[in-house]
Amino acid sequence: MARSFSNSKIGTYSTCPRQYKFQYIERAAVEKPVGVEAFLGAAVHHALEKLYILKMNGKLQTREEMLSNYNEYWEGPDKETIKVTRENLGVEDYIKVGTEALTKYYDKYQPFDDGDTVALEKNISFPLDPNNRFTINGKIDRICLRNDGVVEIIDYKTKAFLPAQQALDDDEQMALYQLGVMHAWPDFKKIELKQIFLRQGAEMKTVMDPEKLEEIRYRVFQKILEIERATQDDNFPPRESAICDWCVYYELCPAKRHGLALDDEIEVEFDARYGEKLAQDYLMVNEKKKKLEAELKALKEDIIKYTDEYDVTNLKAERGSITLHKQEFKTFPGVTDSDEEYLKITMLARDAGLDECFKLDQNILYKEFFAKEKLPSELADKLAKYVISKKRYTVRPYYKGR
């Protein structure tokens, strides 16, 4: 059975693997307050959905009617339960932001006759890979068939800042939306992706060709494989960042529990003070170690330079000797050598069914397949231009009497 993922679910893992485990595997029972930014987005989407539903049925709302629907949405929950994280701002400030954003939208796009609305808040689901291992789910704000025959996939944003065009051109969520639309409506040939930034009264557009869509599809596939490996190995380390303070799993997080215990903010079953001592001792010893490692690295570089210059491989000393081993070899570039070339080779390896071996170690692809001429000639020719030469130096100390 295909396993389901969404852009949000994948994004949670990318943000913090441990948060992913709390949310999707352990389903930890914690209080989840409603964030004001999320509620603002929901309120705005609600108003726009109602606007277009009525438009599809022959009724054009007035601006005041649209804003009335928007304000009614805010009256649903108790406003005191909505969490505001920014200092000096309250719920009423965000209500005003939404009012101004919707007003800009209404004034710019009314009478909303840019085309026929195909779907609103459309749920999509499609297989990500040919073997149907993974299914992508999502919800599209609006799909519009324009008068010129172009299908627009529209995403409404209430973000405070406008992103760069490049971000949209490489946006994984929008690419997945397009793949979902193409799966649901194969006859839609001309598709344009559009994000409307309501606060700024601005819109941004992009068109993704089949090559770009395939690149993003494969990128998402690799991310899901990473999640699958983490699940198999039960390896979900916390990834600390500036947004940790707003995480609902903060008190459960392995990266935060000891600090909270030291401050007596939570009760724990371990001795927090002993952990503090262990950390302090380690930091002191590690500081000394780093100084020694820096000296050792500098000495190694001097030894390599000296032995290369004078063509010697063994250096004698009173305490023993140093032997230098130099190995020259060919391989394909890794991700640290060139991101762009690594991605291109990865895609070539995938086309040949060798992507798992390449992701494990690009040297395997070179040594076991390319160097031994086991690849089809056409693929070998494409890979040949990426071959690089490297040198590996090993400095080994030998002590007298040991």
Q: What is the pLDDT along the chain (402 residues), one digit of tens a residue?
A: 789 999 999 999 999 999 999 999 999 999 888 889 999 999 999 999 999 999 999 999 999 999 999 999 998 766 777 888 888 899 999 999 999 999 999 999 999 998 999 999 999 999 999 999 999 999 999 999 998 999 999 999 999 999 999 999 999 999 999 999 999 999 999 999 999 999 999 999 999 999 999 999 999 999 999 999 999 999 999 999 999 998 999 999 999 999 999 988 888 888 999 999 999 999 999 999 999 999 999 999 999 999 989 999 999 998 899 998 888 878 777 767 776 777 777 777 777 777 666 555 667 777 777 777 877 888 888 888 888 887 888 888 888 776
The CATH topology of domain 1-23+114-270 is Trna Endonuclease; Chain: A, domain 1 (3.40.1350)
φ, ψ at 211 (rounded to 5°): -65, -45
Q: What is the pTM of this model?
A: 0.72
Measured CA to CA in angstroms, residue 208 lies from 193, 219, 340 at distances of 8, 15, 19
Across 74-106, b (16+ Cβ under 10 Å) vs e yields: beeeeeeebebeeeeeebeebbebbbebbbbbb
pLDDT for position 219: 96
Candidates 301, 315, 292, 379; CA nearest to 344 is 379
What is the C-alpha to C-alpha distance for residues 168 and 194, in angstroms, rounded to an integer? Answer: 9
Going from N- to C-terminal start, the domains of the chain cover: 1-23+114-270, 33-112, 313-399
Q: Are 190 and 153 in contact (CB under 8 A)?
A: no
What is the C-alpha to C-alpha distance for residues 179 and 214, in angstroms, rounded to an integer? Answer: 9
Query: Which residue is associated with the tokens 């964030």?
Result: 35
Q: Are 396 and 323 in contact (CB under 8 A)?
A: yes
pLDDT for position 359: 58
